[in-house]
Amino acid sequence: MGKILTSILFGTAITSLHAQQKPNIVFILTDDLGYGDISSYGQDKFQTPNIDKLALNGTRYTRSYAGATVSAPSRASLLTGLHTGHTPIRGNREVQPEGQAPLPADTYTLFSMFKEAGYSTGVFGKWGLGYPGSEGDPMNQGVDQFFGFICQRMAHNYYPTYLWSNNKKVEFPENKDGRLGTYSQDLIHEKTLEFIESHKEDPFFLYVPLMLPHAELIVPEDSIFQNLKGVFPETPYKGKEPGDTSSGGYRSQEFPRAAHVAMVKRIDLYVAEIVQKLKDEGVYENTLIIFTSDNGPHKEGGGDPDFFNNNGIYRGYKRDLYEGGIRVPTIISWEGKIAKGEESNFAFAFWDYLPTFAEILNINIPNQTDGVSILPTLVGNEGQKDRDYFYFEFQEMGGRQAVIRGNWKLIHLDIRSGGVYELYNIASDPSENHNLINMFPEKTKELKRIMKNARTDHPDWPLL
């Protein structure tokens, strides 16, 4: 459907978007934040007032899906507009000594699209889609300014000995030998605010992939943390010392529950400061803000999602394809365009963002996408295109797949060991407690067919 006809069908709201100044996009992606980690999504052991305020100034989505159930493929899905049956990155494949399997050089991403539209692009936080200097390095993927961790494994350590500023290392000798000098996430946040200030005259796409609240569970010894110590019953976590995560370990933490809450509260403060900075620089009203998470809550490093009910009513955690592993909190705010204080159960996923942004920019996508534009839903117009299904795969733990079509969900587990299927109706059974595989053979056959055809084989990412 052509852009002009699309605008006519969707009404004046979308037409007016194209006639206005190009909007800024701020995409805040938290790391392992569970569906129930936010008070506006049901968390009752602590509060997130600033994220809740963002929800009151926008719409809170209750059926939003990440791209995958772990970091790298979820982010690849977000940036490419492809689900994990088609993304060039389908797992957390490590490269030594620093980095992950890289995005190919010719990958069309959000950054490609925004650069084509004349935007400045910035990334501040955790990348995880290449190694320094590779074709997947952010500086080779259309990013104008980068500050943070190129390697997601090294991002486990919040007190690193260096970070990357574009293609140069910024050293932190005060963090050597396990010392707690510079807390990387706070510094990265400062760079995020500086980017907004320095690009207030230009349209910008600001991608903020926070490391919080991923393990290791550690925050500065400030008043946030101090006020939480002793609030919750604790079981100290014994980890590696002095906190070197290059081999996958995590630092010990005497107060792991308090540390988790302090990390989420730190996110809450970051959100408040980003919103305030947009207002101070006079660009808030022309900025679309998205807040979400890359997958469900983790259990590493002393994490205790059951105590905090981090996945809400949903079964599963990070690495699961049950709802708790892939359904994520999502808040979208855009002054004057998106309804305020609303809740929506409209279902969408990470691969829908690329075509949505393309419609906002009024440009054609040169590559095939698995997503559909959700702009009509965001701005409250008719004409929302339906989707046939959602598809997910996970390369680890024997191989896993999931397909969702309407209210039906088929999960395929232990694929490399022969495989077992489970079928759920997530409308009547959102917690996925009742496996209906033996009761609905025709529905199972239908979803198996979709699952088989949803993916393309990839020599680097075989499921069988």
User: Could you read off the pLDDT of 286-296 as tens digits, one per residue?
Assistant: 999 999 999 99
Mean pLDDT computed over 422-450: 98
φ and ψ of 72, to 5 deg: -60, -50
Domain ranges of the chain: 3-387, 391-454
* Amino acid present at 214: H
| Cα(203)–Cα(115) distance, integer angstroms | 10
Using alpha carbons, list the distances in angstroms from residue 286 to 151, 191, 283. Answer: 33, 21, 5
Sign (positive/negative) of CA torsion 50, 55, 58, 63? positive
Residue 7 has what pLDDT? 39
| Cα(132)–Cα(154) distance, integer angstroms | 12
Q: Do domains 3-387 and 391-454 have the same CATH topology?
A: no
Q: Tell me: the pLDDT tens digits for 232-279? A: 999 999 998 765 545 568 999 999 999 999 999 999 999 999 999 999
Residue 17 has what pLDDT? 53
In words, the CATH class of domain 391-454 is alpha beta
Out of 14-23, 53-62, 162-171, 377-386, least confident range: 14-23
Instruction: At 345, list the tokens.
Output: 């159960």
Residue 241 has what pLDDT? 77
- pLDDT grade, residue 21 (50/70/90)? confident
Residue 57 has what pLDDT? 98
Name beta bridge partners: 401. Answer: 393, 412
Four-way CATH pick for 3-387: 3.60.21.10, 3.30.360.10, 1.10.287.1080, 3.40.720.10: 3.40.720.10
Q: What is the DSSP string of 370-389?
A: S----HHHHHT-S-PPP-S-
Mean pLDDT estimate for the chain: 94
Residues with Cβ within 8 Å of 283's Cβ and at least 6 positions away in sequence, in order, are 24, 196, 200
Q: Tell me: the pLDDT tens digits for 128-141? A: 999 999 999 999 99
